Structure 1
Amino acid sequence: MSMFTIISYDIVDDKRRASVMKLLKGYGVRVQYSVFEAMLDAREFRAVSDQLRKLIDPAQDSVRCYRLDAVAAERTVIHGIGRITTDPTHYMV
């Protein structure tokens, strides 16, 4: 089952920051400079977590992952522009 996941990061080094950003672009949508939203199942979450641990310096960097169930995601409030990221209901090929 996929869960709504918010991933935020504070990366000191430009090269590591760029690597983290590129990784997360493959999993979700960038909603702020250092914040991504994604729908990830358990396997995808483990994969992205494993890759993030390899990219960062734990003595200098911080990555936070918030896994929200459907009820918690529905309670999300956005002030200003933007909307909750959701998977598309269909794809055009």
Structure 2
Amino acid sequence: MKSFFLVCYDISDPKRLQKIAKVMEDFGVRVLYSVFECYLTFSEFEAMKREVESLMDPLEDRVRYYRLCESCSKPVIHLGYGKFVGASDEDTLII
């Protein structure tokens, strides 16, 4: 079963930032510069988290993972361009 995750990060070193962004692109869709939406199984989420954590410096960088329930991800409202990666685009409102 897949879940919707919102991943936000602040990486201080540009080289680490590039590496982490590349990992994130394998698992989700960039919706803002340092924010990704991911629709993943638990094992995919754990793999992503392990890869990110192996690259980051916990004393200088921050990464936050938000798991949103299906009913929480449905009211996501988009302004501007971009793509929502949730379970169903039918429930997505694009303004």
TM superposition score normalised by structure 1: 0.86
- Name the counterpart of 1:5: 5
User: What is the RMSD computed on CA atoms of the aligned residues?
Assistant: 1.8
Structure 1 residues 74-85: aligned runs within 5 Å: 74-78=74-78, 80-82=79-81, 83-85=83-85
Aligned residue runs from structure 1 range 1-93, under 5 A? 1-78=1-78, 80-82=79-81, 83-86=83-86
| Gap runs ≥5 in structure 2 | 90-95
Cα offset for 1:34? Answer: 0.4
The count of residues paired between Structure 1 and Structure 2 equals: 88
Q: Which is richer in strand?
A: 2
